[in-house]
Amino acid sequence: MTAVENRDEAGHAALTAIWATLGAAGLFEALSALGTQVRTVRATSPWQDDPYNVAVSFTVFAVPRLAGVIAVRMFAWRAPGGPDRAHQMVRAAWVVIALMGATLVAEWAGVIVGAHASAWNRWTAVLVAGLVVTCAAALVATVLLARCRRPRGSSARWRYDWLSDLVWICGRIPVLRRRVTDGHAAWVRRHTTGVFAGLSALVAVGVVGALAIGEG
């Protein structure tokens, strides 16, 4: 098998694993939203309170955002830098699976100990069924990710990154073509800590504000 064929096979395996991860993340988010944002359902959830809810309250926001970034980058899958892209996206997919796994363990703990058992009803059965399906999907994604071939070498050898792909994607959108450039990407790379701190604060304000309004 030639080097090109090996690269194509590795890219196909990575693509399959990433799509499986995104599918599992979608199921996970549907379950998390149902169990946390719908009051009548949350009242019957085994994991509605701490310590089980610690993981859920974080990943219900973190998982869809990370999965969303991965999904956006899929538009640049055929762009130059395929091996770097596949490696980085598989790593990001592993983070999604790790966050989901920790949360699913916490939710199963609530079920096993019978937390709030007196309030369980048909909605609880729906939540547990969703938990089983989500675990199965996460397991499939984990197996596919584990089968991906990891290229040798450190990240210092990467020539393409997430910002490179963002510039490439925006370059194909007329409105954004001149607004997002390599110069902007270089600026973000020089101020990575400040940019992410600012974005984190902005997202936190949005999340807290939405919860405050929703909870009255």
pLDDT tens, residue by residue, 39-94: 899 999 999 888 888 899 889 989 999 999 999 999 999 888 888 888 999 999 99
Q: Are 71 and 22 in contact (CB under 8 A)?
A: yes
Q: Are 134 and 104 in contact (CB under 8 A)?
A: yes
Cβ neighbours around 169 below 10 Å, total: 17
Residue 184 has pLDDT above 90, yes or no: no
Amino acid sitting at position 64? P
In this predicted structure, which of 11-20, 57-66, 184-193, 207-216 has the lowest mean pLDDT? 207-216
Whether residue 179 is contained in a domain is answered as no
Q: DSSP character for 147?
A: T
Nearest to 146 by CA among 28, 26, 17, 10: 17
d(CA 140, CA 124): 25
CA atoms within 13 A on the CB side of 150: 11
Model pLDDT, residue 3: 46
If one counts the domains in the chain, the total is 1
Reported in sequence order, the residue ranges of the chain that DSSP labels E, i.e. its strands, are none
In which domain, by residue range, is 143 found? 3-156
Model pLDDT, residue 153: 53
Whether residue 25 is contained in a domain is answered as yes
**What pLDDT band is residue 154 in, cutting at 50, 70 and 90?**
low
Range with the largest mean pLDDT of 82-86, 127-131, 178-182: 127-131
Residue 157 has pLDDT above 80, yes or no: no
What is the sign of the dihedral through the CA atoms of 207, 100, 64 and 203?
Answer: positive
- End-to-end Cα, the chain, rounded Å: 62
Whether residue 115 is contained in a domain is answered as yes
Range with the largest mean pLDDT of 16-20, 57-61, 152-156, 205-209: 16-20
Whether residue 59 is contained in a domain is answered as yes
Q: DSSP character for 181?
A: -
Model pLDDT, residue 163: 87
Whether residue 201 is contained in a domain is answered as no
